[in-house]
Amino acid sequence: GRSVEAVTLGSPEGLQAEVLTYGAILHRLSYPVRGQRRELILALGRLAQYEQDPAYVGPVVGRFANRIAQGRFAIDGRTHQLSRNENGNHLHGGVRGVGKRLWKLCPPPSDTSARLELHSPAGEEGYPGNLDILLELRILPDALRFSFTAHADSATPVNLTCHPYFNLGGPATLHWLRIPASRYVPVGAGLIPLGELTRVEGTAFDFRAGRVLAPPPLHTHAQLAAAGGFDHCWVLDDDADCHCELRSPQGDVALTVRGSGPGLQFYSGQFLSRSHPGIGSGVALEPQGLPDAPNHAEFPDAILRPEQTYTAQVEYRVNLA
């Protein structure tokens, strides 16, 4: 019974974005290419579709993006049980998460910026502590930036990112992708990390020089078979110049993604059509911390404590060839 607002940012001469206050969903992202405005992401046509969407088409995801094994973790010796919404595990914040909540728009946006706020109460989806999130959006002629700030009154996992599906024009498998990462996180049952980092050299997971997305046959690599394609987290090299770079099949548009966290979750969208037949093909490219980090002491810490401030950024920058 509450209204959902759509905020439009940008100008007709450059990058334009439309963000919904429901889920802070990135609903539109377009750029003028060869004299015509081209949509760069996939979108659903009706709000009701977003409310029922199981594939995370465009929202901010969290409190904890990615997976937590069995939805269970311990902080300071106390075990917490989260909701389990995917194969017995916790994914992208749970059944609702921040991506299915109504964010508050304040103050009124300008043509180039907007601020959204969300209060996640203690116990929501099983998370400890109250969490207050501020999302600041800013658009430039060629870039869109998401800046997150969050505070909690009790120790809680936090890993916020954005989940649009990109398609720069043409079949997703014909796009070109570069990821400046020498290692990735192999997964086991339920796509839960095994707790180790594996070198990409000589495997289908090596995108350091960039290549066309189409994966080799799934049977050629156990990790491809486990995920039905790519749905893994790459760990950026120390000298990485970005999180990734995506180019259209025609080579006329390039998207550079930068953000916070050592990881990039790349999902090739192989099961997207099961949830949304006819939506088209697209890929998710999500800068973030490492999956299941609360259960792996060897991974970077993902716990936000009351005396700390959580910050994270995601930037999408468009260039024409």
- List the structure tokens of 1: 């019974």
Catalytic: which of 163, 175, 232, 243?
163
User: How far is residue 261 from each of residues 18, 220, 227, 302, measured CA to CA in Å?
Assistant: 25, 30, 23, 10
For residues 228 and 263, give the distance between their C-alpha atoms in angstroms, rounded to a whole number. Answer: 20
Nearest to 270 by CA among 233, 230, 234, 218: 230
CA 168 to chain centre: 17
User: How far is residue 102 from each of residues 69, 99, 122, measured CA to CA in Å?
Assistant: 27, 8, 17
Please list, in sequence order, all residues whose beta carbon lies within 8 angstroms of the beta carbon of residue 21, skipping any fewer than 6 positions away: 4, 5, 6, 7, 102, 103, 104, 105, 116
Catalytic: which of 92, 286, 296, 315?
286
Q: Mark whether 286 is an active-site residue.
A: yes
- Residues with a known catalytic role: 163, 286
